[in-house]
Each structure stands twice: as C-alpha cells, then as structure tokens.
Amino acid sequence: MLEVKNVEKSYKSGVLFSKKSQIVIKNVSFSCQEGECLGIIGESGSGKSTLGRLMLGIEKPDRGSVLFEGKNVIDRKVRRGHLSAVFQDYKSSINPFFSVEDAMYEPLRYWKKTKQEHDMKIDKLLEQVGLNPSYRKKYPHELSGGEVQRVCIARAISTEPACIVFDEAISSLDVSVQTQVLELLKQVKQTYHLSYIFITHDVQAAAFLCDRVIIFRDGQIEEIVHLQSLKDVQSAYAQSLLQAIITF
C-alpha cells in the first residue's frame, strides 16, 4: 500500500556558504501493508522524523520515491484524504484561534457533504475518541494535552484515510495519558481498519501497538522484525535498544 523505495535525503550543513551536505536518510526501502501497524524505532537524531515527513509528502527525497497505491505522494491529490498524520507537538498542531469544531472542519471541507452531515460526523468522531460534543466550542488552551491529542486523532481519522503516520505522537504526554492514548489508537485502528506507521523512540509503546518494527539507526534500517520475533533481533544495536522490554 505505502512503499518507500531507495529513498535518500540530505541537508546542507549549518555553516554559512558551505557546500557540504549531511546525509540524513540513506537508501531506505520498506513497505507498509494494508491494515498493518508498522513501527519505526530509533533514538533521537536517527532521522526517523525526517523519514516521516518524506512519507507524508511534506518534503521531497533527493533520490528514490514514496508511493501510495503505486502513485507518488509528492502529488497532493494522491495523499489527500488517504494519508493523515498526528505529530508530537500537539500545542502547535491546532491553530490556537480555532475551536475544536473549526479544526475538525479543515480536512472535512474536501468531503462533499452538507453542514448537518459534517456536524453529525464531528460529534461521532469526538465520541469515538472519548470526548463529548460539548468540546466542539472549546479552544486548545482550554484543553489538557491528552484532550488536544485526542482531537488531533479525531481530525486525522475524519477523512477515513487508509494510513496514518504518528510521529512521536505520545512522547509529550504524561505516562498515564500515554497508556490511554495507546488504547484509543488500538480501538480506532480496529474500527476503521487503518494502517499505521508509528514513529517512536519508545520501545514499549511500539511493542504494544505494532505488528512489525523497523530498527532505525543513523538514517538507515538496521533491522526489520515481526513483533513476535523481537527477542530474535540480530544486531547488537537492536538488542541494546530493545532490552527495555526483553530479557535476552
């Protein structure tokens, strides 16, 4: 369904007028299948968030391509309504001058329905993420971090996409709230038969949610392993990264 093919990405170094570039993503290839939750686990600075932006078509790779159903995600029409995202910084994910209702109307404007149908859908989505319809009129500053992230999840599923990319979507939340959001993500995935790409440094969260995980290091894939085979990872780096939940 979503296929990353030989993708590379580099950025110019921070030195003014420098012609040197730093390669951030190095010849990465993998695919995410329909209905799968694919985890991308890596330490901070490993390049996994850059990879997320490439998958979403926010940035363009220097080489290679990202395809959704065989078509390049650089084309906005390819990803519109089919790919959604939930990001780490929930505070900046919603315009502070937008009410919850306004924020959720944004993606729905491409959904050719009446206002009444939009209103009914928003109410249903809020209820599905554990918020009652009274939240429609609230603004981000009136909500807790967990509530804002629930709104972001509701907005992400509003167009009934095939795939959602979660980029460190729970890392800024309190531990107790993280558990609630992970349970919610599991329920939403089952309800809508979605595919997830779950980018995280949290091995335990990935183990809870994912079917397969990619161990990502220095812009490259170190290893890809099915969840039930986590204890069989081969590389020393993968073993050290995973020992938070596995006894080797």
What does the pLDDT read at residue 28? 97
Query: Residues for the chain: how many in total?
Result: 248
In a domain, 225, yes or no: yes
Domain-embedded: residue 112: no
The verdict on residue 113 lying in a domain is no
Q: What is the pTM of this model?
A: 0.91
Q: What is the pLDDT of residue 248?
A: 41
Q: In whole angstroms, what is the distance from residue 21 CA to residue 9 CA?
A: 10
Give CA 177 to chain center in angstroms. 18
- Report the CATH number that the domain containing residue 233 is assigned in CATH: 3.40.50.300
How many structural domains compose the chain?
1
Q: Per the structure block, which two tokens stand in for 109?
A: 């404007």
Instruction: Give the amino acid at 238.
Output: A
The verdict on residue 99 lying in a domain is no
Residue 183 lies in a domain: yes
Cα–Cα distance list, 107 to 63, 84, 85, 118 (Å) = 30, 10, 12, 11
Any idea which residue has 């509530």 for tokens?
147
List of residues 6+ apart from 183 with CB closer than 8 A: none
| Residue 129 resides in a domain | no
Any domain includes 215: yes
Parts of the chain with a pLDDT under 50: 247-248
pLDDT at 17: 60
Question: Shortest CA distance to 182 belongs to which of 35, 3, 39, 46?
Answer: 39
In a domain, 174, yes or no: yes
CB 40 within 8 A of CB 87: no
Give the β-pairing of 195-200 and 21-32: unpaired
Range of the domain at 67: 2-92+161-242
Residue 113 CA to residue 118 CA, distance in Å, equals 7
